[in-house]
């Protein structure tokens, strides 16, 4: 049975004080033991996360990393730096990195490879834009993004990864993908993973759904066996909201 995963992507939100208050509340919540909870927080708060979350079941995630170990890359962070700060997971290929910072397949592939080499679990994000959806290109786009991201990886490497299907047209827009949109999109992703590895590997890796995920809709998404959890944006910014979402998702499961 695949692992159930909930990721909270704070993006560029929060203050030190807000993070302290969030963690004080969240670490005392009775989280489900048969799930993995990851907080993808801004870089400045990783040290606070490391200090506070040690010994808990909550995992620390970074929102980005560079593919090089060191060098003249102003503003970037390396995988080794993330490991030093207690990170176990890292987002790679989020649509905002693709669209705002023009990150493409080969560069993302190099990040995936570096993360795996350093013992980090990449959560590789894929998803189609509204224009691609309306042009009936969803399947080809998802297949291409998986192919580019997994190029040159062994089956063992791919088996260590997590994946997030986030249709770009549903991220932060308030427009909800239907349960069938989420299920069918993840099914395409899983088939594409199988083509780069094997059926057994593709059936073993967690694929979560992201895109305007809320407490009110997570259960209906997770009622489908293809959906292994959620990558949550705005609904993860308050500890009580994220906790209720996790509970609702597990009930749907």
Point out the residues that are catalytic.
Answer: 94, 166
Helix and strand numbers (H, E) in the chain are 12, 8
| Residue where the block lists tokens 């963690």 | 23
Q: What's the token pair of residue 180? A: 């069938």
| Residue where the block lists tokens 């102003």 | 74
| 105, 162, 187 from 36: Cα distances, Å | 27, 11, 22
End-to-end CA distance of the chain: 12
Strand partners, 126: 165
Yes or no: say if 60 and 53 are a contact pair by the CB < 8 Å rule: yes
Give me the helices (H) in the chain, please.
16-26, 46-53, 79-84, 95-100, 105-117, 130-134, 138-150, 155-158, 179-196, 199-204, 218-222, 239-252
């Amino acid at each position: 049975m695949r692992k159930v995963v909930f990721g909270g992507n704070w993006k560029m939100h929060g203050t030190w004080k807000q993070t302290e208050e969030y963690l004080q509340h969240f670490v005392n919540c009775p989280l489900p033991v048969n799930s993995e909870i990851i907080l993808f927080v801004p870089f400045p708060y990783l040290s606070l996360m490391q200090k506070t979350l040690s010994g808990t079941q909550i995992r620390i995630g970074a929102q980005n990393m560079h593919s090089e170990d060191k060098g003249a890359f102003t503003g970037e962070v390396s995988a080794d730096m993330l490991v030093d700060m207690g990170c176990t997971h890292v987002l790679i290929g989020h649509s905002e990195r693709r669209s705002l910072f023009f990150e493409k397949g080969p560069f993302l592939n190099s990040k995936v490879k570096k993360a795996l080499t350093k013992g980090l679990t990449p959560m590789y994000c894929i998803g189609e834009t509204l224009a691609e959806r309306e042009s009936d290109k969803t399947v080809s786009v998802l297949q291409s993004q998986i192919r580019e991201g997994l190029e040159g990886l062994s089956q063992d490497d791919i088996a260590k990864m997590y994946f997030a299907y986030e249709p770009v047209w549903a991220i932060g827009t308030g427009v909800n993908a239907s349960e069938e949109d989420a299920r069918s999109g993840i099914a395409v992703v899983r088939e594409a993973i199988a083509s780069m590895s094997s059926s057994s590997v593709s059936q073993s890796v967690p694929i979560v759904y992201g895109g305007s995920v809320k407490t009110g809709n997570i259960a209906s998404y997770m009622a489908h066996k293809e959906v292994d959890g959620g990558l949550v944006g705005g609904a993860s910014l308050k500890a009580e909201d994220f906790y209720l979402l996790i509970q609702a998702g597990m009930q749907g499961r």
